[in-house]
Structure 1
Amino acid sequence: MKAEQQAFVDALLGRCEAPAALTGAERGLPAYRNNLRALSAQALGVPFTRLREALGDGEFATLAWSFWRAHPPERGDLAQWGGALESFLTDRAGEDSGLPDLARLDWALHQAERAADAELAVDSLALLGTTPPEALWLQLRPGLAVVRQQDGAALVWRQGWRGESQRLSAGETRFMRALLADVNLAEALASAEVKGSAPEPDFDFGAWLQAALQKAWLHGVRSAPPSRTTS
């Protein structure tokens, strides 16, 4: 029975012809397949809005069906389907096409919008004025990510219920990636070449902190390193 089910799935996805044992279901295969085609485009179009706009509905639908056949959903929640699209496009279209960039950005925004709520721990900000940076760790909100792009990097986060993004300078990129790697504030500042420590710095911590508070990047300040779960 399991072999027959797999054969039906393979035929449904167009990977092979329907075996003789499935002749009874063969008449329904085109209808099932058309429904899956439509579902693949609909499901993939939810997170990948920029990619869909760039390709157009017809080409995007073709991409969605090809991706579904190569990487079918593994969970019932189709909102979790699409994480492999970046590598799928890299293999088939190449980085220079710009399509992997769009897929990376779209998926990061989708993940940010699905991230857990986390309010700013306002009282923890007082630590910035009382504790040396070597003993401070800045905790960023869930869903925030630095996304690689061909011409640099983009920051992605959730503000309210909407995913937002902006380009990052080289210094901002190094600083944000350091924070996401759970290094202390002193090490993060050193990685960004903070003002006064490099001939042409492009990072200002004061300006960054103001933006982090205005745009809801920061979750809080800690005086101890993040705890790690060991196996």
Structure 2
Amino acid sequence: MKTDQQALVDALLGRGGAPPGLTGAERGLAAYRTNLRALSAQALAVPFARLREALGEDEFASLAWTFWRAHPPERGDLAQWGGALENFLIERAGEASGLPDLARLDWASHRAERAANAELDAPSLALLGTTPPEQLWLQLRPGVALIVQSDGPMLVWREGWAARSQALSPGEAAFMRALLGEVNLADALVKGSGAHADFDFSTWLQAALQHAWLQGVRSTPHPEHLRTKTP
């Protein structure tokens, strides 16, 4: 049996009528649901701009309200709401629709833009010339993420204050995946070059410095609180 509190929540989310005993509550609940519906579209549009543009205002608003009722926010900060949308779209629309790809890219971009600031530890780069790669770990900046789209792997990061993204070759993707998995440099190089002849570390390092992917080089595995994870 539902508690009165759960019944009220369900009513607010449009899953049922007003609980017994709330005299004249239907009109108030209808108004509150209208406000929540508008809020759901406004909140979801912040991280999912590409998806909103692809769907159009009306269809996106309908999606936002359906998603809100299925996965309501668990925190007061609505900017943290939306991580479950990718799987929600896979279940509802399927990968072939292209919508999960848009949601995946939008969410990774949103997370990158909200990631903590981190400056390049330039002196640590000297370790690349003095220490065997088996004893080195490359630390990527917060917000750097590797996502897998229907047409291939893609890297997402923040450059300045804006999120950026680019497609990766198989070798680049294998190398970045290894770094994000906290593999040492020697093993990461093996994974990047193993079955692929398209990965060159010098070229990657130049790009990593130019686009602010790299935070530093370490002679020990990353401390727990500094580890970079994929979303």
Q: TM-score, normalised by structure 1?
A: 0.93
* Match in the other structure for 1:109: 109
Tell me how many residue pairs correspond in the alignment.
224
- Kindly indicate whether residue 217 of structure 2 is the aligned counterpart of residue 221 of structure 1: yes
For 2:224 and 2:35, locate their aligned partners in 1 and report how far apart those are by CA, in whole Å.
Answer: 45
SS in 2 for 1:27: helix
The SS at the match of 1:50 is helix
CA distance in 2, matches of 1:23, 1:37: 23
1:34-68 per-position Cα deviation (integer Å, ceiling 9, x unaligned): 10110000000000001001101110000000000
Which of structure 1's runs of 4+ aligned residues deviate more than 4 A? none
Q: Does the 8 Å contact 2:17/2:26 carry over to 1?
A: no
Ranges in structure 1 where 5+ consecutive residues have no aligned partner: none
Q: Determine helix, strand or coil for the equivalent of 1:22.
A: coil
Unaligned runs of 5+ in 2: 226-231
For residue 59 of structure 2, what is the aligned residue in structure 1?
59
Q: How far apart in 2 are the matches of 1:81 and 1:186?
A: 38
The CA deviation string for residues 150-199 of structure 1, in whole angstroms up to 9 with x for no partner, is 11111011111111111111001000000001111110010011xxx76x
Corresponding residue for residue 33 of structure 1: 33
**Aligned residue for 1:21?**
21
Separation in 1 of the partners of 2:152 and 2:27?
51
Query: What SS does structure 1 have at the residue aligned with 2:222?
Result: coil
Contact 1:169 1:202 in 2 (8 A): yes
Give the percent of matched residue pairs that are identical in Structure 1 and Structure 2. 73
> Which AA in structure 1 matches 2:133?
P
- Structure 2 matches for 1:164-175, cutoff 5 A? 164-175=164-175
Q: Please give the root-mean-square deviation of Cα atoms over the aligned residues, in Å.
A: 1.4
1:127 alignment partner AA: L
1:55-108 deviation per Cα after TM superposition (whole angstroms, max 9, x unaligned): 011100000000000000011000000000011001000111111111111001
For 2:102 and 2:33, the matched residues in 1 are separated by 28
